[in-house]
Amino acid sequence: MPDTFVPASRKTLAACYLRTRARTERLCAPLESEDYQIQSAAECSPPKWHLAHTSWFFETFVLMAHAPHYSPFHPLYGFLFNSYYDAVGDRWPRQARGLLSRPTVADVYSYRRAVDERVLALIDSADEKTLSATAHLIDLGLNHEEQHQELLLTDLKHAFGHNPLRPRYAPPNEGTLPDGSPGAWEHWSSGIREFGHDGAGFAFDNEGPRHRAVVSAFVIASRLVTNNEYRQFVDDGGYTRPEFWLSDGWAARRLGGWSAPLYWHRDGSGWLEFTLRGMRPLAPDVPVCHVSYYEADAFARWAGARLPTEYEWENAAGLRAVDGNFLDSELLHPAGGPAYYGDAWVWTASPYVAYPGYRPVTGALGEYNGKFMCNQMVLRGGSCATPAGHIRRTYRNFFPPDARWQFSGLRLAKDAPV
Amino acid sequence: MPDTFVPASRKTLAACYLRTRARTERLCAPLESEDYQIQSAAECSPPKWHLAHTSWFFETFVLMAHAPHYSPFHPLYGFLFNSYYDAVGDRWPRQARGLLSRPTVADVYSYRRAVDERVLALIDSADEKTLSATAHLIDLGLNHEEQHQELLLTDLKHAFGHNPLRPRYAPPNEGTLPDGSPGAWEHWSSGIREFGHDGAGFAFDNEGPRHRAVVSAFVIASRLVTNNEYRQFVDDGGYTRPEFWLSDGWAARRLGGWSAPLYWHRDGSGWLEFTLRGMRPLAPDVPVCHVSYYEADAFARWAGARLPTEYEWENAAGLRAVDGNFLDSELLHPAGGPAYYGDAWVWTASPYVAYPGYRPVTGALGEYNGKFMCNQMVLRGGSCATPAGHIRRTYRNFFPPDARWQFSGLRLAKDAPV
Amino acid sequence: MPDTFVPASRKTLAACYLRTRARTERLCAPLESEDYQIQSAAECSPPKWHLAHTSWFFETFVLMAHAPHYSPFHPLYGFLFNSYYDAVGDRWPRQARGLLSRPTVADVYSYRRAVDERVLALIDSADEKTLSATAHLIDLGLNHEEQHQELLLTDLKHAFGHNPLRPRYAPPNEGTLPDGSPGAWEHWSSGIREFGHDGAGFAFDNEGPRHRAVVSAFVIASRLVTNNEYRQFVDDGGYTRPEFWLSDGWAARRLGGWSAPLYWHRDGSGWLEFTLRGMRPLAPDVPVCHVSYYEADAFARWAGARLPTEYEWENAAGLRAVDGNFLDSELLHPAGGPAYYGDAWVWTASPYVAYPGYRPVTGALGEYNGKFMCNQMVLRGGSCATPAGHIRRTYRNFFPPDARWQFSGLRLAKDAPV
Amino acid sequence: MPDTFVPASRKTLAACYLRTRARTERLCAPLESEDYQIQSAAECSPPKWHLAHTSWFFETFVLMAHAPHYSPFHPLYGFLFNSYYDAVGDRWPRQARGLLSRPTVADVYSYRRAVDERVLALIDSADEKTLSATAHLIDLGLNHEEQHQELLLTDLKHAFGHNPLRPRYAPPNEGTLPDGSPGAWEHWSSGIREFGHDGAGFAFDNEGPRHRAVVSAFVIASRLVTNNEYRQFVDDGGYTRPEFWLSDGWAARRLGGWSAPLYWHRDGSGWLEFTLRGMRPLAPDVPVCHVSYYEADAFARWAGARLPTEYEWENAAGLRAVDGNFLDSELLHPAGGPAYYGDAWVWTASPYVAYPGYRPVTGALGEYNGKFMCNQMVLRGGSCATPAGHIRRTYRNFFPPDARWQFSGLRLAKDAPV
SS3 for D196-216 is CCCCCCCCCHHHCCCEEEEEC
Which of A85, A189, A195, A247 is the best mutation test for D, with the most CBs of D within 10 A?
A: A247
Task: Note whether C162 contacts D33, CB cutoff 8 Å.
Answer: no
> Identity (one letter) of the amino acid at C261?
P
Q: What is the largest CA-CA distance in chain B?
A: 67
Going along B181-336, which residue ranges are E strands? 185-188, 191-195, 211-215, 218-221, 264-267, 270-275, 278-281, 324-325
Task: Note whether A243 contacts D212, CB cutoff 8 Å.
Answer: no
**B36 close to A (CB below 8 A):** yes
Paired sense of beta strands A377-380 and A345-351, if any:
antiparallel
Does the pLDDT of residue D133 top 60, yes or no?
yes
Q: How far is B401 from chain C (nearest CA, A)?
A: 8
DSSP code of residue A225: P
When mean pLDDT is compared across A286-290, A347-351, D127-131, the lowest value belongs to D127-131
Scanning every residue of chain C, which has its alpha carbon at the shortest distance from the alpha carbon of D156?
Answer: C101
Q: Residues C56, C82: contact at Cβ < 8 Å?
A: yes
Q: How far is D231 from chain A (nearest CA, A)?
A: 23
Q: Least CB-CB distance to A375: which of D248, D350, D354?
A: D248
Scanning every residue of chain C, which has its alpha carbon at the shortest distance from the alpha carbon of D100?
Answer: C163
Task: Note whether C214 contacts B216, CB cutoff 8 Å.
Answer: no
CB atoms within 10 A of CB C270: 10
**A265 close to B (CB below 8 A):** no
The distance in angstroms from the start CA to the end CA of chain C is 45
Domains plus CATH for chain C? 10-161 (1.20.120), 185-415 (3.90.1580.10)
Report the DSSP beta bridge partners of residue D379.
Answer: D347, D397
Residues of C with CB below 8 A from B192's CB?
Answer: 192, 214
Q: What is the 3-state secondary structure (H, E, C) of chain C?
A: CCCCCCCCCHHHHHHHHHHHHHHHHHHCCCCCHHHHHCCCCCCCCCHHHHHHHHHHHHHHHHHHHHCCCCCCCCCCHHHHHCCCCHHHCCCCCHHHHHHCCCCCHHHHHHHHHHHHHHHHHHHHHCCHHHHHHHHHHHHHHHHHHHHHHHHHHHHHHHHHHCCCCCCCCCCCCCCCCCCCCCCCEEEECCEEEEECCCCCCCCCHHHCCCEEEEECCEEEECCCCEHHHHHHHHHCCHHHCHHHCCHHHHHHHHHHCCCCCCCEEEECCEEEEEECCEEEECCCCCECCCCCHHHHHHHHHHCCCECCCHHHHHHHHCCCCCCEECHHHCCCCCCCCCCCEECCEEEEEEECCCCCCCCCCCCHHHHCCHHHCCCCEEEECCCCCCCHHHCCCCCCEEECCCCCCCCEECCCEEECCC
Task: Note whether D76 contacts C165, CB cutoff 8 Å.
Answer: yes
**B110 close to A (CB below 8 A):** no
pLDDT tens-digit readout, C195-244 = 999 888 999 999 999 999 999 999 999 999 999 999 999 999 999 999 99
Report the DSSP beta bridge partners of residue D57.
Answer: none
pLDDT tens-digit readout, D262-304 = 999 999 889 999 999 999 999 999 999 999 999 999 999 999 9
pLDDT tens-digit readout, D154-163 = 999 999 999 9
Q: Residues A359, A400: contact at Cβ < 8 Å?
A: no
Q: Chains touching chain A at 3 or more Cβ pairs under 8 angstroms?
A: B, D
pLDDT value of residue B111: 98
Average pLDDT, chain D: 95
Q: Residues D245, D189: contact at Cβ < 8 Å?
A: no
Does the pLDDT of residue D71 top 50, yes or no?
yes
Express as a percent the part of chain A with pLDDT over 90. 88
Residues of A with CB below 8 A from B80's CB?
Answer: 164
pLDDT tens-digit readout, A42-71 = 999 999 999 999 999 999 999 999 999 999
Task: Note whether B38 contacts A99, CB cutoff 8 Å.
Answer: yes
Average pLDDT, chain A: 95
**A374 close to D (CB below 8 A):** yes
Distance (Å, whole) CA B228 – CA B182: 11
Paired sense of beta strands A324-325 and A341-342, if any:
parallel
Q: Is the dihedral of CA D61, D62, D68, D71 positive or negative?
A: negative
Q: Residues A57, A144: contact at Cβ < 8 Å?
A: yes
The distance in angstroms from the start CA to the end CA of chain A is 45
Does the pLDDT of residue D363 top 70, yes or no?
yes
Task: Note whether A100 contacts B36, CB cutoff 8 Å.
Answer: no
Q: Angle CA(C125)–CA(C130)–CA(C136) in degrees, nearest 5?
A: 110
Q: Residues C103, D32: contact at Cβ < 8 Å?
A: no
Phi/psi for C351 (5° steps) reads: -60, 150
Q: Which residues of chain B are modeled with pLDDT < 50?
A: 1-6
Q: Least CB-CB distance to D212: which of A214, A249, A294?
A: A214
Task: Note whether C32 contacts D165, CB cutoff 8 Å.
Answer: no
pLDDT tens-digit readout, C56-101 = 999 999 999 999 999 999 999 999 999 988 888 889 999 999 999 9
Reported as type and span, the H/E element at residue D110 is helix D105-125
pLDDT value of residue A4: 39
pLDDT value of residue C7: 54
Which pLDDT band holds residue C22 (cuts at 50, 70, 90)? Answer: very high
Report the DSSP beta bridge partners of residue D226.
Answer: D287
Distance (Å, whole) CA B308 – CA B299: 13
Q: What is the ipTM of this complex?
A: 0.95
Task: Note whether D246 contacts A372, CB cutoff 8 Å.
Answer: yes
Q: Residues B264, B233: contact at Cβ < 8 Å?
A: no
Q: Which residue has better confidence, D226 or A199?
A: D226
Of A253, A261, A254, nearest to A231 by C-alpha is A261
Tally C-beta pairs within 8 A across A and D.
Answer: 77
**B40 close to A (CB below 8 A):** yes
Does the pLDDT of residue D1 top 50, yes or no?
no
**A103 close to B (CB below 8 A):** yes
Task: Note whether A101 contacts B162, CB cutoff 8 Å.
Answer: no
pLDDT tens-digit readout, A150-185 = 999 999 999 999 999 999 999 998 777 777 778 899
Chain D, window 177-236: residues with a beta carbon less than 8 angstroms from a chain A beta carbon: 192, 211-214, 216
Phi/psi for C408 (5° steps) reads: -110, 130
pLDDT value of residue C4: 39
Residues of A with CB below 8 A from B32's CB?
Answer: 101-102, 104
In a 3-state reduction of DSSP, which class is residue A297?
helix
Average the pLDDT over C337-354 and give the result. 97
Task: Note whether D242 contacts A211, CB cutoff 8 Å.
Answer: no
Count Cα atoms within 13 angstroms, Cβ side, for D293. 28
Task: Note whether A248 contacts D401, CB cutoff 8 Å.
Answer: no
pLDDT value of residue C415: 97
Report the DSSP beta bridge partners of residue B280.
Answer: B273
Residues of A with CB below 8 A from D216's CB?
Answer: 211, 356-357
Of A47, A101, A77, nearest to B156 by C-alpha is A101
Scanning every residue of chain D, which has its alpha carbon at the shortest distance from the alpha carbon of C40?
Answer: D99
pLDDT value of residue A3: 38
According to DSSP H, which parts of B60-219 are helical?
Answer: 64-66, 77-81, 105-125, 128-161
CB atoms within 10 A of CB C144: 19
pLDDT value of residue C8: 59
Q: Residues D193, D212: contact at Cβ < 8 Å?
A: yes
Residues of C with CB below 8 A from B350's CB?
Answer: 353
